Chain A
Amino acid sequence: MMELLPRRAPSGEECSARLLPVIDVRNLQVRFPTRDGVVTALDGLSMQVMPGEIVGLVGESGCGKSTAALSFMRLIPQPGRITAGEIVLDGQDILKLSDREMRALRGPSVAMIFQDALTALDPTMPVGKQIAEPLQLHKGLAAAAARARAIELFGQVGIPDPERRFGQYSHQFSGGMRQRVMIAVALSCGPRLLLADEPTTALDVTVQRQILRLIRQLRDTLNAGVVFITHDVGVVAELCTRVIVMYAGRAVEAGPTQAVFTHPTHPYTAGLLSSTLELTGDRSLPLYAIPGLPPELIDLPAGCAFAPRCPRADPECWNAAPILEPSGPQQSVACWRWKGD
């Protein structure tokens, strides 16, 4: 089990200093019953995010990153279900809440920035109204007050000329501006936890930079916890304080970004890092790629899910799945052979 922070009763001082995690996930398991069998999209994920912390979730497509984010809001698409575990969001066990109580948390406690702002914004509603929407839903603000606050938010996320922009539609915005609108929508109720699901993947590199800077700025002003989902290792290195590497629905390595990226202990992390391009690297060598494909989540091998692609695998790896164990001061890894031969 991954214990990133000691679990003990918080003192009053800690509470006021906001040292309580904004989200505390224990042993989360999410399953999708399908015609061909049960897909285990998440298996035994545990993680914590402290206020003001940006935690990166990295991994290939289909490794369960997005499912994790959606389960933190209890919005897993049908027929998926949380089959085990515990999610404590801002002090409340959300798996025990009614639908109505959960709705009240979406927005003020947890909000999400989606990957593609063009599809995540309603084409028939002016963007300003969409920013005002959560304010009307949760704070019961009247239209005029919500409008004033929305215009303020426009300024906060760096959209010039908010008065005019308020009444415009999403198709009238550039990709970067649209993403800023998305962020403003997510921020409108001042969430304690911000889930960012690949918010920069669809953007130009230069705009990507600006959006990352904006997210960091907002983290500072709101002191919110951020879960940043991406497959871009470079973005994680730049932005995140801690990183969790996921593979086939499980966390395979976790720790401070610096430590994990300089001394990867899991062969998959090492593979991910080797398959990134470096500006000053040797161009004559072909880019490294991890051989093979991620496994079908429907019938995972009994042993380590990465074993079929792992350069260090030995027969022992096929027998049982490894669990996270400390591999450094704050680092943990789920691998039988991380110590090497």
Chain B
Amino acid sequence: MDSPSLAPTSIIQGNGRGGPPAGAGVLRATKPRSFWDDAWYRFRHNWAGMAGLAIFVLLCLVAIFAKQIAPYGYLDQDWTAILKPPSATHIMGTDDLGRDVFSRVLMGGRTALMVATFISLIGAIVGLLVGAFSAFAGGKVDAVVVWIIDGLMTFPTIWLAAFVSVSTAPALKNLAASLYSVTHWAFLKNEVMISYAVVVFAIGMINWTWPARLVRSQVLSLREREFIEATRALGASVRWITMKHLVPNVLGSMIVLVTLSFGNAMLFEASLSYLGIGIRPPGASWGAMIFQGMSKVRTHPYLVLAPGITLAVVVLALQFMGDALNDALNPKSRSK
């Protein structure tokens, strides 16, 4: 057959707007559309969320390939180019030690991403365990856990993080030193690495309270839901119910919370570094860069603006992404 195909594809075209296959009627069997398919559909149609996701993906790529992208080494000093304003050779200028600001912003992104990832991971895992344990234990145990969580939450987070950071830094340093004497791993002697650990530990110690509270309340309310009772009526054990029914139902809210707390963790890292109790020099941190630039902000504003705007954009992107995820995963709680 030479004639062009006459297959009646036109009948089963969608509605032309890329919407869900609704108008397809009998001709196209509706594919099983899971909750996650629906959520992705809703997320995709939220431009702010997609922009946030794009910026976040960009940040991840930049953080991973920072060394390849950066035009200069982030520690390289050029004595002939001190405090030079942005130009073709140094697109964000240079600082008072002649280091390329753009390269340092890239490396700062790696720091921020790494620290925030660990903090969020610790928060999610500890929060999940503590929250679920508390809800299942109930009674006095639950009451005590809730006291601790509420107690921790009454303190301003940055104050508490600063306190933990300052008071645990020497202990962690000693721990690293004694570990080094056994293992001889070089990174245990690296001051910058230890300051990473201190920041992660300090913020991680506090940040788990949010996920813990969320998981606890979710488990408590889910436990009363009929489908959990129905599963019990089928002879399922607590473990089975937890793995097959509780976790998948908590996952949505958890993802939202972790995304939102990811941006917060970045802000905390920057704040601690700004205060001089976070990432140690010469490690690159946006917070520390802003602090160093503050003394010259009148004459060389780009020193503050470059890391400051980057931080603001990234945190905002994560906020948009979190909000969009919330709308996508908890469509009923939509605030519109």
Contact = CB atoms under 8 A, between A and B. Distances in A.
B227 A120 contact: yes
Interface residues of B, number: 24
Contacts of A260: none
Interface string B219-263: 000000111011111111100100011001101000000000000
Contacts of B232: 75, 106
A133 interface: yes
Contacts of B233: 73, 75, 106, 111-112
Contact of A133 (B225, B229, B244, B248): B244
Contacts of B240: 137
Interface stretch (A85-93, A163-171, A229-237, A240-248): A163-171
B33 interface: yes
A167 B34 CA distance: 8
A105 B235 contact: yes
A137 B244 CA distance: 12
A104 B235 contact: yes
A109 to B, nearest CB: 9
Interface of B is mostly: helix
A124 B230 contact: no
B32 interface: yes
Interface centre among A114, A124, A133, A137 (most CB of B within 10 A): A124
Contacts of B35: 123-124, 169
Nearest to A129: B244
Interface string B8-38: 0000000000000000000001101111000
Contacts of A126: 32, 34
B234 A185 contact: yes
A123 to B, nearest CB: 7
Contacts of B251: 124
Given A133-B244, A137-B240, A164 B32 contact: yes
Contacts of A164: 29, 32
B230 A114 contact: yes
Contacts of B234: 106-107, 111, 133-134, 137, 185
A262 interface: no
A169 B36 CA distance: 11
Given A116-B226, A164-B29, A106 B248 contact: no
A117 to B, nearest CB: 9
Contacts of B229: 75, 114, 120
A96 interface: no
Nearest to B250: A124
Contact of A124 (B30, B33, B249): B249
B248 A124 contact: yes
Contacts of A83: none
Contacts of A213: none
Interface in A55-100: 73, 75
B236 A172 contact: no
Contacts of B244: 122, 125, 133
A272 interface: no
A121 B230 contact: yes
A133 B231 contact: yes
A169 B226 CA distance: 16
A42 B196 CA distance: 62
Contacts of A167: 32
B235 A125 contact: no
Contacts of A73: 233
Contacts of A111: 233-234
A167 B31 CA distance: 9
Given A164-B32, A167-B32, A172-B33, A133 B226 contact: no
A119 interface: yes
Given A169-B34, A169-B35, A122 B226 contact: no
Contacts of B235: 103-108, 134, 137-138
Contacts of A108: 235
A169 B30 CA distance: 12
Interface string A167-186: 11100100000000010010
A73 B244 CA distance: 21
A121 B231 CA distance: 9
A122 B237 contact: no
A172 B33 CA distance: 9
B229 to A, nearest CB: 7
A92 B123 CA distance: 47
Contacts of B29: 164
B32 A122 contact: no
Interface in A148-169: 164, 167-169
A118 to B, nearest CB: 9
Nearest to A165: B32
Q: Top 7 A-B pairs ranked by shortest CB distance? A: A106-B235, A167-B32, A119-B226, A107-B235, A124-B248, A120-B230, A103-B235
13 contacts: A103-B236, A108-B235, A114-B230, A121-B227, A122-B227, A122-B245, A122-B249, A123-B227, A124-B251, A125-B244, A134-B235, A137-B235, A164-B29
Given A133-B234, A134-B235, 11 more contacts: A106-B233, A106-B234, A107-B234, A107-B235, A108-B235, A120-B226, A122-B249, A124-B35, A124-B249, A126-B34, A185-B234
